[in-house]
Chains A and B, each alone.
Chain A
Amino acid sequence: MKILTTSNLKKHFPIRSGVFLQVTGYVKALEKVNFAISEGETIGIVGESGCGKSTLGKTIVKIYEPTDGKITYFDPSGQSHDITKSLPRKVKATFRKDLQMIFQNPFDSLDPRMTVKDIIKEPIDTHRLFDNEKSKDEYIRELLNKVGLDTEYAGRYPHEFSGGQRQRIAIARSISVRPRLLICDEPTSALDVSVQSQIINLLKEIQRETNMAFIFISHNLDVVYHMSDRILVMYLGNIVESAPSTSLFGKPTHPYTKALMSAIPSWNPTKRKLDKVKLEGEPPSPINPPSGCPFHPRCQYRLEICDKIKPEPIEVSEGHFSSCHLYAKQ
């Protein structure tokens, strides 16, 4: 069952300057993003810093207002709602319960003035899951156990914990209302490698138990591969390649994806990388993106057409889409 779809989702941030704060330009963070997510599915989103991954996550959960396009939300009964412009009052409660988010920085995502118990209690109280304190306390203890924290920690403050423990608290908080879709915005990038795997395994375990759908945003390809059924590769606000994870890693098609993959450091220094695709320079500014294909200035397979026409997604194999002129059918 579908939970959320977007069509041609666009987000431009106005740049204001001058005395009267006139709009002098736009940061084009998202351009025509299309995807759909169903229950139990995990979508991974990868890309460099500043490519719009986090903007996509925040636009989906309605922290940002989309500039254009459409977001459709399907409530648990399967009814569809257009939530692009605003959240209708009726849908708001179920939407806010169905979609939860885990943030990148566990040192920033927990209110330093609240105890662990109050932090986890906040969403529970907001959605009035329990009406008596006793069963609420019981449930909070159960949640702490589930994420692998001691129940005695409930009365402590966030600064008493390590990064990994804080991220566990954040996870306990977000799964407390039993959401159908959990958006993980780089949940492991602020953590040690050893802790990263614990958090990833915890998330996978939660998914197995609850059939929760995940949108997993990361710049770490390994982590995304480990987690996802389907991967979207983003570049400068565009999805350049979208494929099932095995297919993407087995046979990457877009030059940018290849470049990203060859950038993964190998644990074996003598082992050769697959294709030597080197990325040169910085990604162009999203304020003034290049014409045609956004990747063409850095692409070594550049064709004549690339700086003129923006490529549409082309299905190169089943369920594997690549926005590149190299695969255009003549």
Chain B
Amino acid sequence: MEGTRKRVTESFFKHKLGVFGLVVLAILYLIIIFADFIAPYNYTTTHRNFVYAAPSKIRFRDLEGKWRGPYICEMTKARDPITYEVIFTEDLNTVVPVKFFVRGEEYKFLGIWTTNLHLFGVEESPDKAMLLLFGADRFGRDLFSRIVVGGRVSMTVGLLGTFLSVFIGAIIGSLSGYYGGRIDILIQRFIELLRSFPRIPLWLALAVIVPPNWPSTWVYFGIVTVLSLIGWMGVARVMRGLVLSLKEKEFVLAAKVMGVSDMKIIRKHLIPNTLSYLIVVSTLSIPGMILGESSISFLGLGIKEPMTSWGLLLKQAQSLSELESHPWLMIPGIFIMIAVLSFNFVGDALRDAVDPYRTVEKL
């Protein structure tokens, strides 16, 4: 076993894209763990003066060309008298320096102790100047803070959902493969039936079951359940195939002859022997889950305000006119892309490392 583990890790670290994906994922997860600290503003606080404000320009030299370090200018809001369009004008004479470790809004660090220290930001009151890295939404909330906090939902929904679907899929798949015969046919046809439904309408139909008056954390788990209720089928198929070949192995027959119960055979022999494949399959199915959550939230049936997720943030970018005048609302989409790609890279690298013969197909 030791030898195998060494071989697997070695060949994983040879896969450049996989290592790159792993690093990106590590950074993303660090960001969401310390989201409150990294976000310069509270993700729910609205700022009337900064509705749909564009990303702030960070300047280094003042009007006279003197080096001032990174700073932003105060903003004044005005309306175009003819079109009523909101126009932001920078007051170039003001200097609001951007600093590390500034005091801002209070929050609970890691949910334990209350503090107001943020990684970076400006000390100016948010009425006059705000550091908006990615601009603001229609309530004047800082999009960067919302993306950082929204990652909590988007990045964990995939993990939890995959865990649940792999759990369900592994059990149903091994039952199907182990008992064979009528049970197998029944389960396989059922999976085919479910798989032949178009995915998004099925998600929506299931998401409708989640009551609208549920608190947002419950909704979150509701979404996870919905995603995994559909996601287990791919895992079950792979698992069935693996178990079909494993159950003819003599060590399984030996366990049967010894009188070991079927459930124990599945638990102690079949699942441990397929574990490496299961891990690969899970990494490859996480991106699907992330996209699923985004789709559901994008269509308005998933995570609800004031909670936030990348899909929900993208929802604001639904209309073309919005996109045209506030293109920064697309930024959450870039984060989804980065996360999905990274998981795919890691999954590919893991698959190549664990399974040199490529028996596991990409889901």
Measuring CB to CB, which residues of chain A are less than 8 angstroms from any residue of chain B?
58, 61, 63, 92-93, 95-97, 99-101, 103-105, 108-113, 122-123, 126-127, 157, 159, 170, 173-174, 177
Q: Is the CB of A173 within 8 A of B254?
A: yes
Q: Is the CB of B273 within 8 A of A122?
A: no
Cα(A157)–Cα(B253), bound, Å: 19
Closest A residue, CB atoms, query B264: A126
Interface residue from B3, B255, B257, B273 paired with A113 (Cβ < 8 Å):
B273
Closest A residue, CB atoms, query B269: A111
Cα(A159)–Cα(B251), bound, Å: 14
Chain B contacts with A in 81-140, Cβ cutoff 8 A = none
State the Cβ distance, B68 to closest chain A Cβ, in Å. Answer: 63
24 contacts between A and B (CB under 8 A): A63-B253, A63-B256, A96-B257, A99-B257, A100-B257, A100-B258, A101-B254, A103-B250, A103-B253, A103-B254, A108-B250, A109-B251, A111-B268, A112-B1, A113-B1, A113-B272, A122-B255, A122-B258, A123-B259, A127-B259, A159-B1, A170-B254, A173-B258, A177-B258
| Residues on the A chain within 8 Å of B1, using CB | 112-113, 157, 159
Interface residue from A96, A104, A110, A157 paired with B258 (Cβ < 8 Å):
A96
Cα(A127)–Cα(B258), bound, Å: 9
Closest B residue, CB atoms, query A107: B250
State the Cβ distance, B43 to closest chain A Cβ, in Å. Answer: 45
| Residues on the A chain within 8 Å of B260, using CB | 122-123, 126
Interface residue from B3, B259, B273 paired with A111 (Cβ < 8 Å):
B273
- In the A-B complex, the 10 residue pairs with the closest CB atoms: A96-B259, A109-B250, A103-B250, A123-B258, A108-B250, A111-B251, A113-B272, A101-B257, A61-B257, A126-B260
Interface residue from A93, A170, A173 paired with B259 (Cβ < 8 Å):
A93
State the Cβ distance, A289 to closest chain B Cβ, in Å. Answer: 25
Interface residue from A100, A104, A126 paired with B250 (Cβ < 8 Å):
A104
Chain B contacts with A in 297-332, Cβ cutoff 8 A = none
Chain B contacts with A in 215-270, Cβ cutoff 8 A = 249-251, 253-260, 264, 268-269
State the Cβ distance, B183 to closest chain A Cβ, in Å. Answer: 14
- What band does the interface of chain B fall in when counting residues whose beta carbon is under 8 Å from A? 10 to 19
Cα(A95)–Cα(B257), bound, Å: 9
Cα(A109)–Cα(B250), bound, Å: 4
| Residues on the A chain within 8 Å of B269, using CB | 111, 113
| Residues on the B chain within 8 Å of A173, using CB | 254, 258
| Residues A112 and B257 in contact in the complex (CB < 8 Å), given A104-B250, A105-B250, A157-B1 | no
Cα(A177)–Cα(B251), bound, Å: 17
State the Cβ distance, B179 to closest chain A Cβ, in Å. Answer: 14
State the Cβ distance, B158 to closest chain A Cβ, in Å. Answer: 28
Q: Is the CB of A126 within 8 A of B249?
A: no
Cα(A283)–Cα(B272), bound, Å: 41
State the Cβ distance, A110 to closest chain B Cβ, in Å. Answer: 6
Closest A residue, CB atoms, query B275: A113
| Residues on the B chain within 8 Å of A177, using CB | 258
| Residues on the B chain within 8 Å of A104, using CB | 250
| Residues on the B chain within 8 Å of A96, using CB | 257-259
Closest B residue, CB atoms, query A21: B185
| Residues on the B chain within 8 Å of A95, using CB | 259
| Residues A92 and B259 in contact in the complex (CB < 8 Å), given A108-B249, A109-B251 | yes
Cα(A96)–Cα(B269), bound, Å: 18
| Residues on the B chain within 8 Å of A127, using CB | 259
| Residues on the A chain within 8 Å of B268, using CB | 111, 122
Question: Other CB < 8 Å A-B pairs besides A96-B258, A113-B273, A122-B255, 20 of them?
Answer: A61-B257, A63-B257, A95-B259, A97-B259, A100-B257, A103-B253, A104-B250, A108-B249, A108-B251, A109-B250, A109-B251, A111-B251, A111-B269, A111-B272, A112-B1, A112-B273, A127-B259, A159-B1, A159-B3, A173-B258
State the Cβ distance, A94 to closest chain B Cβ, in Å. Answer: 10
Cα(A196)–Cα(B118), bound, Å: 73
Q: Is the CB of B251 within 8 A of A110?
A: yes
Cα(A22)–Cα(B260), bound, Å: 32
State the Cβ distance, B263 to closest chain A Cβ, in Å. Answer: 12
| Residues on the B chain within 8 Å of A112, using CB | 1, 273
| Residues on the B chain within 8 Å of A92, using CB | 259
Cα(A96)–Cα(B259), bound, Å: 5
| Residues on the A chain within 8 Å of B273, using CB | 111-113
| Residues on the B chain within 8 Å of A159, using CB | 1, 3
| Residues on the A chain within 8 Å of B258, using CB | 96, 100, 122-123, 126, 173, 177
Q: Is the CB of A126 within 8 A of B254?
A: no
| Residues on the B chain within 8 Å of A63, using CB | 253, 256-257
Closest A residue, CB atoms, query B255: A122
Cα(A111)–Cα(B269), bound, Å: 7
| Residues on the B chain within 8 Å of A157, using CB | 1
State the Cβ distance, A63 to closest chain B Cβ, in Å. Answer: 6
